[in-house]
Structure 1
Amino acid sequence: MAMPLRAVDDTAALVPVPARPRRILISTDTYPPDVNGAAVFTHRLATGLAGRGNEVHVVCQSDLGPASADVVDGVIVHRLRSAPVLVHPTMRVTVPTRLDRLIGAIEPDVLHTQGHFVVGRAAIAAARRRDIPVVATNHFMPDNLFQFGHIPERLRAKAGRLAWRDFGRVFGRADHITTPTPLAATLLAEQGFGREVEPVSCGIDLARFHPMAEPKAWARKAFDLPDRPTILFVGRLDEEKRLDEIVRALPYILNETDAQAAFVGKGNQRGDLERLARRIGVGERTFFLGFVPDESMPQAFAAADVFAMPGIAELQSIATLEAMASGLPVVAADAMALPHLVEGNGYLYEPGDVMALARHLSGILSDDALRERFGRASRDLALTHDHQTSLARFEQIYDEVTR
């Protein structure tokens, strides 16, 4: 970036004045220590942009309750006072507030909001009052909220329409709108959102997530897993992930190969899944590893032979991309954006078809050559989702909306 010149006096030569870094404010209703796809993406976006020389601020809910501000991983994090969400054991919600004073103090060049709920809504309103450009990225799917709101099945279609209408009102105020995949952009159009939406991949750090040379027994030992063929799932253990399908598939898989399933993540379905596994006789073949720190995730993928993603509400699935970058074959539900991640690197199956899921997983686990070929194809596909490419595109968008 060229630096402006300033005259010191009438006789002095012109000297360069350093230009300040681009200043970005990211607003989000979920941020680590929350564990979900939107929180993971937002953290990597913020730290990635800071690593590229930007001054990055994040405004989000407090994870403890009181408001606070701190520098974390090179990002200035402003946490707003919050209260627990009664329908979810770990989530918190920000107490509604105007953000004019905060935005006035930061004076960002651009606001990049990651949602349209409490924090995103307040941030967009405050940015608009100060004529600050707004970029908005959508991670929202009504299906992700139905279980937490205990919405009856018969009312979900109507609730979904109301939720999309509210989304359109809020995101309609943005200057530029993105979402992780072309399918997710099409979904917004189908829901009546009339604005242009650009697909920008969440991206993954290909330097961190890559095939490991070490024996899988070494990685499994770190998680106290027996050394046998391993099916892995990473994500929230919640309703829309349909993880019971993996558990129900295990008895059929065990007829063909000596396998086990490992689940990384937390969620309100864990107890039900453990009871189901015991009831159908696979309790000793299912392992719940709980929360695994991000720095240990490459080793978790290294412990597996195949990755399973039965979720039906994925707008991209960072976990699936990380598994692919790690060289794992993929078996995924033929739903939402997942088909875009399965092309010569595994299989799709109809959601709910447990026999098909079992057949595909058994086929991969029992065929070394097939597993190796699918693993190479996964890595090749993952190379098209480089994190740095996504960060560079967001920087271009910021420049476009601020011109």
Structure 2
Amino acid sequence: MAMPLPNTATAQLEPVSVRPRRVLIATDTYTPDVNGTAVFTHRLATGLAERGNEVHVICASDTGPAKSDVVDGVIVHRLRSAPLLVHPTMRVTVPTRLDRLMAAIDPDVLHSQGHFVVGRAAIGAARRRGTPIVATNHFMPDNLFQFGRIPDRLRMAAGRMAWRDFGRIFDRADHITTPTPLAAGLLADQGFERQVEPVSCGIDLSRFHPHAEPKAWARKSFDLPDLPTVLFVGRLDEEKHLEELVRALPYVLNETEAQVALVGLGNQRPALERLASRIGVGERVRFLGYVPDEKMPQVFAAADAFAMPSIAELQSIATLEAMATGVPVVAADAMALPHLVQGNGFLYTPGDVIQLARHLTTLLTDDELRVRMGKASRELALTHDHQSSLARFEQIYDEVAR
């Protein structure tokens, strides 16, 4: 008996089994660490997972022993780590080869977030295996000098050595990105000859948005008095120059009621507390410490102005989140920050405390100006939608895989 022929039309309609794109992200710092790279990497990983990718992260263990778990839809492989003696809140991975883990994951692409211990090992393993490599730079030597206790007279030479080491590792990548055009130009200025594509870190505009409610409700959530509030979010470390913000506060208080709220952890907190007490503003400088990511939108909603005195920002996710919330900005005229201040606030010369205080006073005492600049902040932030950034990274993964 003749066998019936298959229904060709039906066969053509049957779906082809295709597994999701498998992305391996390597990073030396990841949540619960609180810094720009950790925040970006966590949101990159979870964002890619929400878009249907299978995402793995290799990072340092936050407790010490190696472990693996699924967190927020991401498979996180934590490597054995030890405390970083020069930093109170971070840990460093014990150097290791990652060939076996790389083979077990079998990623379509590796996306490294740095060239230190984990990134270096992952790039080496990917090269040996023939896995395409995308690398994103968040590094500036200024971010390391305070932790390495490097004297000022040696920092220029140390910076040149650090950049040469960076170039040697990132030169092995197939595609290189960094958050801003200015950051890409910085790499070229340091002699890095490869093409570097600017891709914004991006922000979740659905989470960070203006609020119609009075700011008192948000301040109450963090036990803040209902006073005009200048906010900073980030590490309380040397390169952030937060002493300038504290020193500016007495001049602001000569003109209007105000307080400064500092969100984050870092080794400069004791010194900042002593400074605030010594100049008579101890009761007006509030240290909120670590705030979980899910509560960050409320933090920004409590602010009348956002201050970023750092001189080592390649983009500044915290500044973008403040802008998305509709908060005007006062920032140091340094690195990438001028790109974020265009009709939505003021720039000040780093170190000029009087100028910083004058700009903050102007914002806090002019309701109409503050509202207008807040709207401009939101408009600028709309150009940094993280879904656009995620889509571009997916395109890059497919390009290097081909």
TM-score above 0.5: yes
Q: In structure 1, what is the Cα distance between the partners aligned to 2:6 and 2:226?
A: 77
The answer for the alignment partner of 1:307 in structure 2 is 306
SS of aligned partner of 1:87: coil
* Residue number in structure 2 paired with 1:3: none
Distance 1:146 1:372 in 2: 39
Where does residue 73 of structure 1 map in the other structure? 72
Does residue 271 (structure 1) correspond to residue 301 (structure 2)? The answer is no
Q: State the distance in 2 between where 1:272 and 1:145 align.
A: 19
Partner of 1:254: 253
Q: How does 1:76-115 map to 2 (within 5 A)?
A: 76-115=75-114
Q: Counterpart of 1:109 in structure 2: which amino acid?
A: D
Match of 1:282 in 2: 281
Q: TM-score with structure 2 length normalisation? A: 0.97
Once the two structures are TM-superposed, the CA of residue 287 in structure 1 deviates from its matched residue by 0.3
Alignment partners' CA distance in 1, 2:391 and 2:347: 32
Measured against aligned partners, the alpha-carbon deviations of 1:233-276 in whole angstroms (never above 9, x if no partner) come to 00000000000001100110001110110000010000100110
The letter of the residue matching 1:92 is R
Q: Identity, % of aligned pairs? A: 80
Three-state SS of the structure 2 residue aligned to 1:328 is coil
Separation in 1 of the partners of 2:251 and 2:86? 35
Residue in 2 aligned with 1:200? 199
Cα distance between partner residues in 1 of 2:105 and 2:253: 58
Per the TM alignment, residue 10 of structure 1 is displaced from its structure 2 partner at its CA by 7.7
Is the contact made by 2:30 and 2:42 (CA closer than 8 Å) also made in structure 1?
yes
Number of the residue aligned with 1:391: 390
Matched, 1:327 2:287: no
1:215 corresponds in structure 2 to 214
Q: What residue ranges of structure 2 are gaps of 5+ in the alignment?
A: none
Number of the residue aligned with 1:46 = 45
**CA–CA distance in structure 1, aligned partners of residues 5 and 364 of structure 2:** 78
Look up the match of 2:239.
240
Match in the other structure for 1:353:
352
Q: Deviations over 1:118-155 (max 9, x none)?
A: 10001001001111100000000000000000000000
How far the C-alpha of 1:89 sits from its partner, in A, is: 1.3
Structure 1: stretches of 5+ with no match in the other structure: 1-8
Helix, strand or coil for the counterpart of 1:233? strand
Measure the CA separation in 1 of the matches of 2:291 and 2:80. 27
Residues 89 and 266, structure 2, Cα contact 8 Å, conserved in 1: no
CA offset digits 1:323-371 (Å, max 9, x no partner): 0000000000000000000000000000000000000000000000000
Q: Which residue of 2 aligns with 1:5?
A: none
1:361-395 superposed Cα distances (whole Å, 9 cap, x missing partner): 00000000000010000000000000100000000
Aligned partners of 2:389, 2:206: CA distance in 1, in Å? Answer: 15
For residues 64 and 231 of structure 1, the distance between their equivalents in structure 2, rounded to whole angstroms, comes to 34
Q: How far apart are 1:18 and its partner, in Å?
A: 1.9
CA-based RMSD: 1.0
Which secondary structure state, in structure 1, belongs to the residue aligned with residue 224 of structure 2?
Answer: coil
Q: Aligned residue for 2:136?
A: 137
Q: Number of residues paired by the alignment? A: 395
Residue 334 of structure 2 aligns to a residue whose secondary structure is coil
Q: Map residues 172-191 of structure 1 onto 2, 5 A cutoff.
A: 172-191=171-190
In the alignment, is the contact (CA less than 8 A) between 2:114 and 2:136 conserved in 1? Answer: yes
How much does 1:17 deviate? 2.4
Letter in 2 for 1:200: V
Question: In 2, Cα distance between the equivalents of 1:206 and 1:357?
Answer: 28
Give deviations 1:158-208, integer Å, cap 9, x for gaps. Answer: 000000000000000000000000000000000000000000000000000
